[in-house]
Structure formats: C-alpha cells, structure tokens
Amino acid sequence: MNGSGMATATPLRVLGIETSCDDTSVAVLEGGTRLLSHLIAAQDVHRLYGGVVPELASRAHLELLPPLARRALEEARLEAGALDAIAVTRAPGLVGSLVVGVAFAKAWGLALGKPVLGVNHIEGHLHATALEHGPCEYPAIALVVSGGHTELVRVDGFGLYRWLGSTRDDAAGEAYDKVAKRLGLGFPGGPVLDALAAEGRRDAFDFPRPMIGRPGFDFSFSGLKTAVANAIAQHGDPPYPRALVADLAASFQAAVVDTLVARTLDAIDAENARTLNLGGGVACNRELRARLASECAARGVTLRIPSPRLCADNAAMIALVGTWIVERGDPSDPELDAVAALEESGLPIR
C-alpha cells in the first residue's frame, strides 16, 4: 500500500528526473518506498553571480543529465530496460531548465519504450515526507517554502488539494537570498543567515511581520526585505562588523519565522488538520523547524519534515509522485511539455 491508497503486485521501478531550477537530480525508486539511488548535482557556478543565471543552469543540465542518469542506474544495479517508467518535473520552474529535463526524459522514454510522466514540482514537495515517514494522517496542511515558492496547501490525499495561501511577492527563500546579497554574504543566502542568526539578537531590530492578523493565509515578504535593506543602508557599504550582521540576520529571521509559523498555525486551526508536512529548501532552517515542532507538539499535530536532501529540489520526490501516477492508471502524454508558472501547471491554485 502506498500514498495513493493502491496496492501493487510487483514493485514499480521509476526513474525520476528533476531540473526545475539550478540543481540536477536523478533517482531510481522501487515500489514507491525504496530509493535504489539518489543523486543531486549542485551548480555552484551561480555563486559567482549572486543568483541563478537561467542560461547557465540550462547548459549545466544538458551536461550533467546523461552521466547522472547512467550513474543512478549503476548505483541501483539496474539496466535501463528494467525501468517501468520515467517521471520528470514539467512544472513550475525556469522554462529552459524544465525543457532540458522534459526533452531528455522523452528521448529516453522513446528509446526504451517506457512511459514518460510529467510531475508537478510543488506536488512533489507536498508528499516528499512520505519517502521517509510513510503515509500521513489527513487532513494535512503542507507548507512549501523555498527560493521560488511559499505555499500553504490543504492535502486530503494524492491529487486532493486545496490551495489556502501563497506569497503575493517575494518567496521567503528569495528574501533570504536578497538580504544576504545586500550584506555581502554571497549566494545562496539561507544557510549563512541561519548560521549567523544563532549569534545575534532577534530583537535587535524591529522588523515587520507582514500579513499576520489579516484575513486569509497569503504571505508577503517584499516589505520585510525593504525594511532590512533600509536598516543596512544606515551602516554604509559592506563589509560590516560581524556583530551587526548577526543581529540583522537574527532579527530578519525572527520576522520570517514568526510570519511563517503564525500563518501556518492559522491554517492548521481553520482546517482542523492532524498533520503538518514541511517541504522546500527553507524547511532546513533550524529556527523554523524548532518553532513548528514546539507549536505542533502543543496542539497534538504531527509534524513531518524531510531530511535535508529531500527538502531540496530532488528527483526522489518526482519518482514518488510518478509511481503514484502509474498506479492510478494515468496514461503517458506523448505531447508532454514544460510549463514555467505554477498557476498554469494544472494544480488547483485558486
């Protein structure tokens, strides 16, 4: 039995491919539960430019996918013909990066005579915890928070979603990257700001907590980012004293975490949810994880957080959703194409 509620006689072997942004990932999943291999190649070249350069990302995917796919099969001790299907991220993300992954998957599928299944990247994050924690109790709330997305979704099973809220401007991870860049800390900004925040005072600066107390479950981080930029501007150009940077990091992170936690708890209460699934790169943030663990424990809500590799953009979650699509009986789409925008990706956003 798996997350889709269906049983299979023999375990399916699905190759997952993820190229939605700047990480190239390939995985082989057996039976929806056993990862036979899982590879993620980070494109560190983007650190030179302070952010992801779409053209460079696409070229790197072109170079990395063939050897990664071969290596994933070698580690899984499988021949390509032993695969039952290929699952690939088709949306949302950088269109050039998505096109590379989709084209590669379709070419392999055609050569092998295997079905190719398009998977929504966000849907993968909604269920990534199942790879380590198994099926969850519904209704569940999923908080997907990353460099490109901040989403609150009610989940009642595979394919059963109701969008509750999204960011109206910057995603939380995007705000981290922009603040880190303004401080001269490089890219990506999340890990370094999280580490510095542990040294600083969270009340050193009085930054706003956007949207808290307002109706609905949407987020907004653009105003917070601007408030931090204004505070930094009062101290000239980098480099800045480490104590100042730590205080700025701690105060900024406190505002982000307070906002994410407050809106998520509101959604849990409103939907009478029994489970909270966390996903996306910002799910690795230590303060966010600790706060949600405390608040969920106090409410008797089960908190499920993937390990760091499964929080990142990864092919394991794509293979998982692909497995469930096969078991649900959905046909392969020979006209499969890439879709950049979440709103046009087929999930019920509004």
Q: Residue 250, class by beta-carbon neighbours within 10 Å (0-12 exposed, 13-18 middle, 19+ buried)? A: buried
Decide if 13-127+314-344 and 137-306 have a common fold: yes
Sequence-distant (≥ 6) Cβ neighbours of residue 313 within 8 angstroms: 18, 20, 21, 23, 25, 40, 121, 146, 281
Convert the pLDDT of each residue in 101-116 to its tens digit: 999 999 999 999 999 9
Q: Where are the domains of the chain?
A: 13-127+314-344, 137-306
Q: Can you give the pLDDT at residue 104?
A: 98
Sequence-distant (≥ 6) Cβ neighbours of residue 190 within 8 angstroms: 147, 173, 176, 177, 180, 281, 282, 284, 285
Structure pTM? Answer: 0.94
Convert the pLDDT of each residue in 163-206 to its tens digit: 999 999 999 999 999 999 999 998 899 999 999 999 999 999 99
Q: State yes or no: pLDDT of 75 exceeds 60.
A: yes
CATH number for 137-306 (one of 3.30.420.40, 3.40.50.300, 3.30.56.10, 3.90.470.10): it is 3.30.420.40
Cα 16 to Cα 45, 81, 189, 206, 321, distances in angstroms:
24, 15, 28, 44, 9
One-letter amino acid identity for 22?
D
Give CA–CA dist 330/113, Å, rounded: 17
Write out the CATH class of domain 13-127+314-344. Answer: alpha beta
User: Which is nearest to 91 in space by CA: 164, 174, 163, 19?
Assistant: 19
Start-to-end CA distance of the chain, whole Å, equals 31
Radius of gyration of the chain (CA): 20
Long-range contacts of the stretch 235-240 (C-beta < 8 A, 24+) = 238/183, 238/184, 239/184, 240/183, 240/184
Compute the C-alpha angle 308/314/317, nearest 5°.
100
The model's confidence at residue 43, banded by pLDDT at 50, 70 and 90, is confident
One-letter amino acid identity for 57?
A
Q: State yes or no: pLDDT of 211 exceeds 70.
A: yes
The model's confidence at residue 50, banded by pLDDT at 50, 70 and 90, is confident
> Token match 């009986």: residue?
329
Q: State yes or no: pLDDT of 2 exceeds 60.
A: no
Rounded to 10 degrees, the C-alpha dihedral 155/156/158/159 comes to: -80
Q: Average pLDDT for residues 215-234, to the nearest whole number?
A: 95
